[in-house]
Amino acid sequence: MDQKPPALVTGASRGLGAAMAETLARRGWHVVAVARTTGGLEALDDRIQAAGGSATLAPMDVTVDAAMQQLCRGIHDRWGALPVWVHCAVEATALSPADMIPAKDFGKALETNVTAFVRLVSYVSPLLRAAGGGDAVFLDDEGARKFGAAYGATKAAQREIVRAWQAEATTATAPRVHLLRPAPMATAVRARFFPGEDTSGLADAREEAARLLDEAGLARAG
């Protein structure tokens, strides 16, 4: 059994999620990497192993309730607790005017960014408490954008859930809940909302991952 403490990263196959996973692995965590894209996870694992780190790949969809229950049960059975959860899974729907949002697109954003997120919080919270509190890291952004109402609305709901959890986390074993704002980065999610943007001035995802994890106090494992 890997003796490194586990860190769960949901949405780990690309962009900031992958950068978070790689950075945590370099800092001594055993990364449990969750994403729908098996190929992206395998490429991530190659990079982590090349840098001397370790990971467990979990090719799962966070919207599948049974899969998330299985994931959290597996973490409990293997480690008994979870010191770190970094949530980067997000559904960025196609651009659409606010008065013409397709019901299917809004449903997908709602399911991933709100409904599945609420379930995950309830499943992961006991594992964080078992670690003596643990750290839960979530990402904020600048909010609604032109033609991005579905994404903006569901991310706003997620933000309020996180803020409520922060306010409620007052006991000694309550998780330390972080709501962090990355600088604009050249990621696929941003490209969806800013097509054709000059990316030369955008932040590097790996540098942002290191900065954000430092902000959360996760410099090294343990």
Provide Rg for the chain, Cα atoms: 17
| Other residues' Cβ atoms within 10 Å of the Cβ of residue 99 | 6
Using the predicted structure, report yes or no on whether residue 172 has a pLDDT greater than 80: yes
- For this structure, is 123 an active site residue? no
Phi, psi at 217, each rounded to 5°: 80, 25
Query: What are 36-68's pLDDT values in tens digits?
Result: 999 999 999 999 999 999 999 999 999 999 999
* Cα within 13 Å of Cα(115), Cβ side: 11
Choose among 119, 9, 6, 136: nearest CA to 69.
119
Phi, psi at 88, each rounded to 5°: -120, 0
- 79, 117, 138, 151: the catalytic one is 151
- Provide the number of structural domains found in the chain: 1
Q: What is the CATH number of the domain that holds 207?
A: 3.40.50.720
Query: What are 112-169's pLDDT values in tens digits?
Result: 999 999 999 999 999 999 999 999 999 998 765 789 899 999 999 999 999 999 999 9
Domain membership of residue 156 as a residue range: 6-215
Using the predicted structure, report yes or no on whether residue 1 has a pLDDT greater than 50: no
Residue 93 banded pLDDT, cuts 50, 70, 90: confident
| Residue 221, domain member (yes or no) | no
| Residue 155, domain member (yes or no) | yes
- What is the Cα–Cα distance from 180 to 141, expressed in whole angstroms? 8
